[in-house]
A = this chain, B = another copy of it.
Amino acid sequence: MEASSTKVAIEQIAERITDAVMEHRLPPGIKLVEEKLASAFGVSRTKIRQALTLLAQEGLVTLHPNRGAFVKRPTAAEARDLFATRRLVEPEIVRNVIKRACSEDLAKLRVHLKEEAEARSLGDRRRIIRLSGQFHMLLAQVSGNSFIEKLMGELCPLTCLIIALFDEPQTPACPEDEHSQIVEAIAQRDEVRAIKLMLHHLEHIERELHLDSPTERDIHWEALYG
């Protein structure tokens, strides 16, 4: 039961679960037992159930009938599709941000960069991963297209999951500070450079993953001895 008596909206529940997933506190594949979540959030299962259908629709959770909800375990193929989608969408985001961003927007982005730098200097790896994802969500927000914003709001948490699954655990934190370079290119209204940096950034993330070595999930047990 929660200490406070404030009502917890199902969106808040979904968001807190999403944050936990982004910070790798909920690993891919783990089961989300309704009763446990209900008592953790101090609400009834009815609300948890709604939050879970919401998260399932977002793609962060998989619902197995009569068996429950599980944090999604994306396959390598899904990971590749995800990055293909991001390579398509994020250049458009950059173009729109350069077109529309006012000085306050740039300020917001720079505040975020500071948070990232802080987390990095503190070595808070979980916070780094979450903030890295949220940087891209913030960019999408500034770009001003609600559909693309929503899409990125789903792809970024999933990217965190994919990193949890396919990245070597001891990879040195995050590559480098490519985010601040992107922001600077945007501030200078250098579209070509900003897009190039963004695409390189995405390629760096994808290349650090081991999408070729098949996970247990990818093995087709039925077909193995066909």
Contact = CB atoms under 8 A, between A and B. Distances in A.
Contacts of A84: 145
Number of copies: 2
A150 interface: yes
Nearest to A59: B150
Nearest to A88: B92
A94 B132 CA distance: 32
Interface string A130-158: 00000000000000111110110001000
27 contacts: A10-B53, A46-B46, A49-B50, A50-B50, A50-B53, A53-B53, A53-B54, A54-B54, A57-B57, A57-B58, A59-B147, A78-B146, A81-B144, A81-B145, A81-B146, A81-B147, A81-B148, A82-B147, A84-B145, A85-B145, A85-B147, A88-B88, A88-B89, A88-B92, A147-B151, A147-B155, A151-B151
